[in-house]
Structure 1
Amino acid sequence: MSVPVPPWQQRAARQRSVKQPLSLELIVRTALELLDAEGLDAVSMRKVAQRLGTGAASLYAHVRNKDELHELVLDLVIGEIALPEPDPEKWQDQLKELVRQQVAVLSAHPGIAQVVMRTPAPTGPNALRVSEAMLAILRSAGMPDRVVAFAVDVLALYGTAVALERTADFGLSDDERRERLAQVEQYFGALPPERFPTITALLPALVSGSDDERFEFGLDLLVRGLAAHAP
């Protein structure tokens, strides 16, 4: 004769078996957790379903396919960007801060910047909020509409490219990457100056500066260029 399960263990078993109702928000947040843990290639309908303790078919009632899932995760990440109230007196600082935030949030979730590059135009609610904010900041500076429209595209591309480079592993560990960069510097230093006079002359400058310094230089270059279009 079997021994009955104590009542307190029965309650615990019932509590463990209760699943959180499946929803679009839960699916997308679970996909983001999977992205952070295992990378973009791991974010599939099947793996997200496994994490949720259900079958992949149940996800299709909420998400059309893997590509749409990736875009939804991207929009969730973009929602981490804080948006300022446009101030014509501070438009340059506000613009720079938005791009810095873009780089920061995309870099915090390695792989998600790839989704930006293969999405013709992110149109999720958070992406639209960021676009609206950036357009409003540029327009508050009095720039022509065409300049404003083109500038948003250029700034977004710059921020995404920086995040892509920062999160790419190139198949190398951190130590291997540092070693490769040192080898590149040595190789440039060994180039014949009669054939590559400019590279050899500028070598100290070419290998100087941190990633942040180079990013800020490029960002300042873009914003200063836009300032030429402001009245």
Structure 2
Amino acid sequence: MPADPQQRRAARHAQAGPDGAPAPRKTPITTDRITDAALQVIATEGYEALTIRRVATLLDTGPSSLYAHIVNKDDLDDLIMGRLYAEIVLPEPDPATWREQLREVYGQIRDQYLKYPGVARAAMAMVPTHLETLRVGEGLLALALAGGIEPRAAAWAVDALMLYVGAYTLERSLVQQRRQNHGDEWVLSHDELVGRMRGLPEDRFPHTRAHAAELAAGSGHDRFDFALDLVIGNLGK
């Protein structure tokens, strides 16, 4: 096993198998355990709480023990995203149903992000190098190409939709965080929002007042699905 963490990272990108030697009596620190602990921090405290020191504390060790296996916080982000993307199931590209397949895969990614509040920050701030992350990118591109989309348009659409998934889930996590830290008074209810928009000066906000209900409409993932349909539904037209 390479001793240098940079070499370890290169080895992870060159092969899909896990690293690590046979476990001694004491459970060793491994990249898998580090990733498990990092996801536990995010799930319970949010991505903003994630630090090398916080993960080390959870594993009952010191930060130096982690640096024997990872390079830095960016490397940890790479491991986290690789773990999440390993759960994504990619369909065999079907030219007849490629749009529905794209929607389904992006829905899986959305749900993975929502399990770990704020984890989209990790995805949006890094260049993906983990093989599982790259596997999903390859699969999404294959689905778009199966629809006969010109390669550059397919690549840009896949990237744009990934950015939207990140922004959507990050917004959801921020709302959740505000509710937890400040109470519901920081987040307006649907009726309060409509009421405020309808109470705006009519001479300056005629459209907002007239269409307040539409501006505040939507529940669950309605708006998410709408945005995906705007892009995917118009690809190839």
TM-score, normalization by structure 1: 0.84
* Stretch of structure 1 that moved more, 126-135 or 185-194: 185-194
> Which residue in 2 is equivalent to 1:175?
184
Q: What per-residue deviation string (whole Å, max 9, x for no partner) do you get for residues 51-104 of structure 1? A: 222221111111111222122112211222111111111101100001111111
Answering whether residue 97 of structure 2 is matched by residue 93 of structure 1, we say: no
> Which residue in 2 is equivalent to 1:54?
61
In the TM superposition, 1:65-104 aligns within 5 A as: 65-104=72-111
* Stretch of structure 1 that moved more, 83-92 or 178-187: 178-187
> Which residue in 2 is equivalent to 1:25?
32
Instruction: Measure the CA separation in 1 of the matches of 2:35 and 2:137.
Output: 22
In structure 1, list runs of 5 or more residues that go unmatched: 1-17
Q: What per-residue deviation string (whole Å, max 9, x for no partner) do you get for residues 148-200 of structure 1? A: 11111111111111111111136334633553654432221111222221111
> Which residue in 2 is equivalent to 1:135?
141
Identity of counterpart residues, as a percentage? 38
- Partner SS, residue 90 of structure 2: coil
Instruction: Measure the CA separation in 1 of the matches of 2:73 and 2:27.
Output: 22
Answer yes or no: is the 8 Å Cα contact 1:193–1:200 preserved in 2: yes
Answering whether residue 47 of structure 2 is matched by residue 40 of structure 1, we say: yes
* Stretch of structure 1 that moved more, 146-155 or 18-27: 18-27
Instruction: Measure the CA separation in 2 of the matches of 1:204 and 1:180.
Output: 13
Answer yes or no: is the 8 Å Cα contact 1:86–1:140 preserved in 2: yes
**Deviation (angstroms), 1:26:** 1.5
- Partner SS, residue 19 of structure 1: coil
> Which residue in 1 is equivalent to 2:119?
112
Runs of 4+ displaced beyond 4 Å: none
The size of the alignment, in residue pairs, is 211
Amino acid at match of 2:124: M
Instruction: Measure the CA separation in 2 of the matches of 1:206 and 1:43.
Output: 35
> Which residue in 2 is equivalent to 1:162?
168
Instruction: Measure the CA separation in 1 of the matches of 2:212 and 2:72.
Output: 48
Instruction: Measure the CA separation in 2 of the matches of 1:39 and 1:197.
Output: 40
What RMSD over aligned residues (CA atoms) do the two structures have, in Å?
1.9
Amino acid at match of 1:201: A
Instruction: Measure the CA separation in 1 of the matches of 2:155 and 2:219.
Output: 31
Structure number with larger C-alpha Rg: 1
Q: Which structure has the highest helix share of the two?
A: 1
